[in-house]
Amino acid sequence: MEIGFVGLGNIGLPMARRLLDAGHAMVVCDLDAARVRRMADAGALPAGTAAEVAARVETVFTSLPSPPALEAVALGADGLTEGGAVRRLVDLSTVGPDTSRRVAAGLAEHGIAFVDAPVSGGVAGAANGTLALMVAAAPDERAAVEPVLAALGRVCAVGEEPGLGQVMKLLNNYLGATALAATAEAFVYGVKAGLDPAIMVDVVNAASGRNSATQDKFPRSVLPGTFDYGFAAGLMAKDVSLFAADAEARGVPLWVGAAVREVWRFTRDQLGPDADFTEVVRPFEVWAGVEVRERPG
């Protein structure tokens, strides 16, 4: 299948590479010329704008960092609507349901279908083809792209309306963000009281407190102090804020969510948006005067 791919960021690049390696002919575009060259060296065709991509292929994938970025690429100057060949956009970004609905409506005016398909699984999942893809689209559009999406991971159909994929992704990321923030707080408490963090990981994972942070993120990135999981604190703050805003707009109370949102905003502001999201433990460590790290021997 001939496909376009716009957005070769930390997760977009390995997704695009998997699709290329799966045998699909690709036209790629990104603001970072070095990333475009990497894909071109692997066999993709480079393009200067999203409109140029949309002028060459019927199906375009996007993986973009923010709602304004998606709206600009889809509907703005030199965007997809200015290309004559494109027939559908498959958006892999996390932008919130309101943005997905607006983009879908704008594209529909140009006869372009929209597939809402945010992903979860991080950089490693993108590279290994083990992502979860939360797809909301008309059945015929989902069927058209599902064989392509299968190269990226498990396709989970969540509905037909644009935005439902975003709702699923936001609540999933909120749960992950909550688990990571709460685990950071709990483990700092344990270390302050004298426990070995490696022992805490083993015990919690054998008990009822286990979660995605204790099973993966803490042993992989926090205890060794590498903080290299591959997802930015700024992006997590963005996702939690999108979740909170949409939940509040729907009249859903967020007693826990309000606190989680502030933790991630504080982490982003203190450590910078590009800090790894496992560094959420650092502010708790500073306040308590301890570090949650592996101990020699």
If you average pLDDT over residues 200-221, what whole number do you get?
A: 97
Question: Is residue 192's pLDDT more than 80?
Answer: yes
Q: What is the pLDDT of residue 213?
A: 98
Q: Are residues 128 and 199 in the same domain?
A: no
Q: Are residues 65 and 113 in the same domain?
A: yes
Domain assignment of residue 296, yes or no: no
Query: What residues act catalytically?
Result: 169
Question: Is residue 159's pLDDT more than 90?
Answer: yes
Domain assignment of residue 248, yes or no: yes
Domain assignment of residue 73, yes or no: yes
- The dihedral built from the CA positions of residue 214, 165, 55 and 140, taken in this order, carries a sign that is positive
Domain assignment of residue 295, yes or no: no
Domain assignment of residue 294, yes or no: no
pLDDT tens digits, one per residue of 79-137? 999 999 999 999 999 999 999 999 999 999 999 999 999 999 989 999 999 999 999 99
Domain assignment of residue 226, yes or no: yes
Q: Are residues 100 and 246 in the same domain?
A: no
Domain assignment of residue 53, yes or no: yes
Question: Is residue 28's pLDDT more than 80?
Answer: yes
Domain assignment of residue 42, yes or no: yes
Q: Are residues 241 and 134 in the same domain?
A: no
Q: Are residues 172 and 258 in the same domain?
A: yes
Q: What is the pLDDT of residue 43?
A: 97
Question: Is residue 169's pLDDT more than 90?
Answer: yes
Q: Are residues 132 and 230 in the same domain?
A: no
Q: What is the pLDDT of residue 82?
A: 96
Q: Are residues 127 and 247 in the same domain?
A: no
Q: What is the pLDDT confidence band of residue 277, given thresholds at 50, 70 and 90?
A: very high
Domain that residue 266 falls in: 167-288
Q: Are residues 155 and 94 in the same domain?
A: yes
Domain edge (last residue) among 109, 126, 159: 159
Report the mean per-residue pLDDT for the chain.
97
pLDDT tens digits, one per residue of 98-107? 999 999 999 9
Q: What is the pLDDT of residue 1?
A: 87
CA distance 69 to 46: 19
- Report the 10 Å Cβ neighbour count for 295: 10
Percent of the chain with pLDDT over 70: 100
If you average pLDDT over residues 20-44, what whole number do you get?
A: 97
Domain edge (last residue) among 141, 159, 177: 159
Q: Are residues 34 and 139 in the same domain?
A: yes
Q: Are residues 171 and 146 in the same domain?
A: no
Task: List CB contacts of 126: < 8 A, sequence separation 6 or more.
Answer: 11, 14, 15, 18, 119, 152
Question: Is residue 297's pLDDT more than 90?
Answer: no
Question: Is residue 282's pLDDT more than 80?
Answer: yes
If you average pLDDT over residues 165-172, what whole number do you get?
A: 98
Q: What is the pTM of this model?
A: 0.94
Percent of the chain with pLDDT over 90: 98
What CATH number is associated with residue 79?
Answer: 3.40.50.720
Domain edge (last residue) among 140, 159, 178: 159
Q: Are residues 30 and 125 in the same domain?
A: yes
How many domains would you assign to the chain? 2
Q: Are residues 58 and 150 in the same domain?
A: yes
